[in-house]
Amino acid sequence: MKVVDFLHSNCVIPTLRGTSKSEVLAELARHLAGVQPGVDAVALGRALEERELLASTAIGDGIAIPHAKLDTVDCLVGVLGRSIPGLDFDSIDGKPTHLLFMLVAPTASTGSHLKALARLSRLFRDAGFRQRLIDAPDGDAMFATIEEEDAKY
């Protein structure tokens, strides 16, 4: 599975405005609702918040992968956001979170959702890849970085 199978260039936010977990989750949800028919930003934001109550999706090394399922999407979709200063996302390592990759899957899906989470976790383990995303000058360059990394596999 490639990241570009569920991330499109119009779903990259190079400068997140939110400064808290709740603000950023709402911002990611609003962005997806603006480009994906059938996505309600409020419902998605609520689903993301509920998932975060179970355990933080911040996996350390400046990365979080918030995710939720909605019955109004028919395929896996993602939004990549970047916070240069970083924010407190209750990360397991206690460090600020800079890169957030939100995944939204159809309610009935299991396999594709899990495969995407595994793929993202594998990609984000690479410190060089994370740094290239942080250093990218804009959203297009961030998306190109994802495409380049995808081409390796």
Catalytic residues: 67
Give which of 22, 36, 58 is closest to 106, Cα–Cα: 36
State how far the alpha carbon of 57 is from the alpha carbons of 28, 41, 51, 97, 121, in Å: 14, 19, 8, 10, 11
Q: What's the first-to-final CA gap in the chain, in angstroms?
A: 9
Strand 77-87 with 97-106, pairing = antiparallel
DSSP-derived secondary structure for 68-80: EEETT-SS-EEEE
Question: Phi and psi of 85, rounded to 5°?
Answer: -70, -20
Pair type for strands 97-106 and 63-64: parallel
